[in-house]
Structures are given as structure tokens and as C-alpha cells.
Amino acid sequence: MAKNQRRLNLSQKYQLMTRGLDWETTYQPMDKVFPYDKYEGIKITDWDKWQDPFRLTMDAYWKYQAEKERKLYAILDSVVQNNSQQNISDARYLNAVKIWMQGVTPLEYAAFRGFNMLGRGFRGAGARVACQFQAIDEMRHYQTQVHAFAHYNKFFNGFNQHARIRDRAWYLSIPKSYFEDAMTAGPFEFITAISFSFEYVLTNLLFMPFVSGAAHNGDMATTTFGFSAQSDESRHMTLGLEIVKFMLEQHEDNVPIVQEWLDKWFWRGYRLLGLIGTMMDYMLPKKVMSWRQAWEIYWEENGVALFNDLARYGIRMPKHHETATREKYRITHEFWSTIYQFSHATALYTWLPDEEEMDWLCAEYGELFEKLYKPRYEYWRELDARGERFFQKRLPVVCNVCQIPIFHTYPDDPCKNICLVSEYKGTKHQMCSEGCKDIFDREPEKYCQAYIPPQQIYQGNCGGATLEDYRKWLHIRDEDAGEYYGSEDNQLWEKWQAEAARV
Amino acid sequence: MPENVFIALQNTPEAQPIIEAIVADNDNAVVNESPGMVKIDCPKRLVLRRETVEEKLGQEFNLQDIHLTLISLSGNIDEDEDEFVLHWDF
């Protein structure tokens, strides 16, 4: 079909709308106008070499984003009008959505802040334009998620006051610390951490199998905002890959710096995603795929292909990737066991897998699950039957880097707990793994200042020094937390099911 | 050695001509369907051609419109008015 020749082509339009937007400053030296883009040691000789391969310009951006928003809000209206909360597979499922709202949604806001800083901080106008788009995207994700969850909040516990618990809940320091670590680094490390390691290498595991799982479990709201957000995400991932290639191409001195960041942020991202894997394996009543399978597809296939491509720049696979792959058979079981024991101190419910789910876990995880984790769940089930549902009485020791409770085991021995210690300025700091210990030892002055919630709580800095005081300060009611079976969510769901069965 | 690039699209009527065009233009493309989503894997290189989408769709198509149905992708990108290409270069 004939094209309209009077129009600019994509590449001409991109050049016109992302170049020549700035100037060499004369009242102030450029280094004072852009004070943060050199101290990390990254050398850029020609910012004009940076290109957005999508060649997205502001006019096209607004057009597509407006269209995405119109579609999304039409569906969210429909979710509300049609009582779609009753169409999900089971109310247990919503606890995965609560983790999303409590843990992931605030990251969207943190990303909004981070990319605003980058949209000001980089010297190159093309990269600044792309970061400004992304900042607006991230705010959109935050808002659409809060709007989508607001409907569930009318019926179910755990969805209220997300901003307060984001600041105060001990377990939410896991995702929060990831972004705060990135935001307190320089702009190049931030974009490597977020756009490349988190978005390119790892968020496919969050937005693809998990959101597909939301679709499978009848959650129209989450599926819709999830895929709508992920359509922006593919642009963000592309920015991440381009900026990494750009740094590597600009100067050979950048290669070892970038490699260290990839090592660090691969491990931090992997640790964070253990939580997503747990949502997939334990919190989706109807399964799409297991964490093990998702890891094989999205890391062992797609992630490794990406690193093969980067090998020509002198980049090798990230440190400790073998450990991550070895842990694919155990990480979600160790994680769920931990959440199960501590859910009375969260705004979530937990439960034990039923017989059918136990069979699925055995099929997906084989002998290791059957030997180690199934007996543990059966033991807890016996306790539960005796009216002694198992909860820990104290909060756990958490890793000084990833802030995950130290429940992990040695890579070559899943029966032996690991806790590694680094001493810095006379204080001992505990870590969950060689990966996190390497990160601590590389920047001890940074991580020795980390805010570790359980320590702060027991020092009395969070409403008092007991778990009860702390729960009050957090504004968690007994009804919001603990065991799912018998909870208010469970009772409401049973009532709806009984009504549906009657007609 | 893992070498696939991929593109994932929402499983909507709008995405159908795009999926059909990819299948038509890439002999080694493998289509994986899961709830709400279609993921297409292809060794080393995958091309989406505007003309093929237009044939399937029966009207003009702007390649940038894939932003409305795109979920995710993997691979280096080359895009102009006529082609959207994902590739690994090793």
C-alpha cells in the first residue's frame, strides 16, 4: 500500500524531537549543571550515539498511552459494575494480589521518583527524553494499580492503608530496600539496576507467568493493569539494554564497572523474585506454571541468550547464577514455609497446600519436595488439626542486604541453614548467601547503615518493643492477618459460594 | 546454547493479524499460548513486516501500533516503517 510521502519517516522524526534540545551551558560549567553523571567512573564520549530503537517521540507516546488508558479504565469500570470480585477462582488468590499491592505497587512510585531524577541527571537529551517517558509510565502504573485494588478493598481485608504499611511493615522492606539501594547509587547504576537487571532480565517472570496466572484465576482487574503496564515495560527493558550496550560501547573502562553492577543487581533481583515465585507456586489456586519452569524459560533460556549476546563486549554471566539455578527446586518452598509461620505479623493470610496442590508440587519439584517440604507441611497440618496452628513468636533475623528473613540453605545442602557474617567497624552483619555477602563486602559503608526493621522494632522504635505494640503501630487488626481458613475473607467467600450454589 | 528471541502479545482480536504475520514470515517461529497471552519464540532472529500485517488485516497498519498489544520481548531491536526486527548477534 502506498505511503504518505509528505510525512517524516520514523527516524527523521526521532532525530528532530530528541536532538538539539539542549545546549552547552556558559553561565555555569556543564559539570555543575549535571553534577552526578561522572562520579561513578562511567566515561561517555558521545551522547548522540544513544538511540531509542523504538524511536518513540512525545506525540506518539501521548497517543498510545491515551489509548491504553481508555481501554484499561473501560475494563476497570466493567469489573466494578459486574461484581467481578465474585468471579475469581478462590479468595485465597487475593493474597497474591495483596502482596502485589503492598510490595510491588510502591515500587512503581519509587521508579517514578528514580526516573525523574534520571530525566534531569543525564547529559544526553535522547536518554533524558526516554527517562521522562518512563517516569510518567511509572506514575501511571502506580495509579492504575491503586484504582484496580480499590475495588477489592471494598470486600476484602489487607488492601487498606497501603501507604502506611509500605513505610512500616517489616516484610515490605524487602522490595523497598531494592529500590532505595538503587536510588542512593548514581544514575548509571540506577538505570542498570532497574531498567536492565530488574526489567529486562527479571520482570518477565513477574509480568508474564504471574499475570497470565491472574487471567487464569479470573482476576480481570489485575490481568488488565498487568498487561497494560507490561506494554510500557517492553519499552523500559529496551531502554535498559540500550543503555548497557551504550556504556559498553562508549569506553572500555566502563566494562568492569558495568560487570560489577550486573553481578550485584542480578543477585538482588533474583532474591526479590523468590517472592514472586512463591506467589506463583502457592497463591494461585489455578496454576499456570511453576517457578522452576518459569526460571528455566525466562532465565535459563531467555536470560542466558541475552548474556551470550553481551559476551562480545567482554561481559560474562553474572556471579552466582549457578546458585540461583540450583535453588530453583527449593526457594519457593523455603519462602512459603517462612511466610506461613509469620503471617500473623503481616497484612496477609497464609495456609497449607491441599492434597491436590501437594500432588502438583510433587510433580513439579520431584523428590526434593517429597522428602523435605511435604513432611513439614503434613506436620503443621497435624498441629493445626489439634488447634495449635503454628506461628513464630518472634520476628526473624533478616539479611542485611536483601532484607529477606534468613531461611536459606547451603547451595549444596538443602538441609543446612546458611547465615554468613561480615564484621565491619566492630559490628556483625548477617547475610543470607554468598551473593548478598559479596554485595555487603563491596560497599560495607553503605550497607552498615541499612534500616533493618526487626532490629528497630525490638529496640522499641516502632510503637513499643513487643510484637503486639508493633502490630498496633502498623494498624494491623487480628482479622487482617494469620491463617486463611476461618478468616473474614474465607467466610465472605464461602457465603458467596453458597449463594451461587443456591440459584 | 540458548539463542531464542521472543515477542509476547496480548491474546486479543487486535493481536491476531500480528501473530499470523509473524508465523507467515518466520519459518522457525514457535507459538506458545498461555492464559491471556501468546509468546512467540524464534532462534536468533524474528521479523514482523508491515506489509504482511496489512495483508492479514486488509487495511493499513502502523508498526508502532504494536505498543497497544505488546507484553514483552527479548532481543536487540531494529525498527523502521516497514519492519520490526528482534535479533541476537552472537
pLDDT digits (tens, 9 = 90+) for A375-405: 999 999 999 999 999 999 999 999 999 999 9
Which pLDDT value is given to residue A116?
Answer: 97
Round to whole Å and give the CA distance between B69 and A355.
Answer: 38
SS3 content of chain B, % helix, strand, coil (to 5): 30, 40, 30
Which pLDDT value is given to residue A374?
Answer: 97
Domain hosting A94: range is 53-502
Which residue out of B10, B37, B69 would a mutagenesis test of the A interface target, given it has the greatest number of A Cβ atoms within 10 Å? B37
Question: Phi/psi at A89 (nearest 5 deg)?
Answer: -65, -40
Round to whole Å and give the CA distance between A323 and A272.
Answer: 15
Whether residue A317 is contained in a domain is answered as yes
Question: Model confidence at A54, in pLDDT bands (50, 70, 90)?
Answer: confident
Is the pLDDT assigned to residue A165 strictly greater than 60? yes
What does the block give as the cell for A466? 513487643
Contact, B18 vs B53, CB < 8 A?
yes
Round to whole Å and give the CA distance between A463 and A125.
Answer: 47
Round to whole Å and give the CA distance between B73 and B86.
Answer: 8
Identify the CATH number of the domain in which residue A325 sits. 1.10.620.20
Which pLDDT value is given to residue A5?
Answer: 58
B2 contacts A308? CB cut-off 8 A: yes
Residues of chain B with Cβ-Cβ distance to A215 below 8 Å are: 35-37
Mean pLDDT of A466-492: 93
Per-residue pLDDT of A120-139, as tens digits, reads 999 998 889 889 999 999 99
Per-residue pLDDT of A299-324, as tens digits, reads 999 999 999 999 999 999 999 999 99
Q: How far away is chain A from the Cα of B22, in angstroms, using its nearest Cα?
A: 18
B72 contacts A204? CB cut-off 8 A: yes
Which pLDDT value is given to residue A4?
Answer: 53
Crossing angle, helix A125-153 and helix A10-18, to 10 degrees? 100
Round to whole Å and give the CA distance between B61 and A12.
Answer: 19
Contact of A306 with chain B, judged by CB distance below 8 Å, is answered with yes
Whether residue A11 is contained in a domain is answered as no
Contact of A59 with chain B, judged by CB distance below 8 Å, is answered with no
Whether residue A467 is contained in a domain is answered as yes
Task: Tell me what the pLDDT averaged over chain A comes to.
Answer: 93
Whether residue A6 is contained in a domain is answered as no
Strands B4-10, B70-74: pairing is antiparallel
Which residue ranges form the domains of chain B, and what is each CATH number? 4-87 (3.90.56.10)
- ipTM greater than 0.90, yes or no? yes
Q: Residue A196: closest CA among chain B residues belongs to which residue?
A: B74
The total number of structural domains that make up chain A:
1
**Residue A281's closest CA among A272, A294, A268?**
A294
Per-residue pLDDT of A175-230, as tens digits, reads 999 999 999 999 999 999 999 998 888 788 877 888 999 999 999 999 989 888 88
Q: How far is CA A494 from CA A12, A45, A443, A499, in A?
A: 60, 64, 51, 9
Weakly modelled stretches of chain B, pLDDT under 70? none
Q: How far away is chain A from the Cα of B35, in angstroms, using its nearest Cα?
A: 5
Crossing angle, helix A254-278 and helix A173-183, to 10 degrees? 160
Whether residue A81 is contained in a domain is answered as yes
Whether residue A175 is contained in a domain is answered as yes
Is the pLDDT assigned to residue A73 strictly greater than 60? yes
Round to whole Å and give the CA distance between B81 and B49.
Answer: 9
Whether residue A142 is contained in a domain is answered as yes
Which pLDDT value is given to residue A21?
Answer: 79
A308 contacts B68? CB cut-off 8 A: no
B48 bridge partner residues: B84
Mean pLDDT of A350-373: 97
Q: How far is CA A422 from CA A30, A178, A323, A418, in A?
A: 41, 20, 20, 13
Determine whether B23 is exposed, middle or buried from the number of CB atoms within 10 Å of its CB (0-12, 13-18, 19+).
middle
Whether residue A425 is contained in a domain is answered as yes
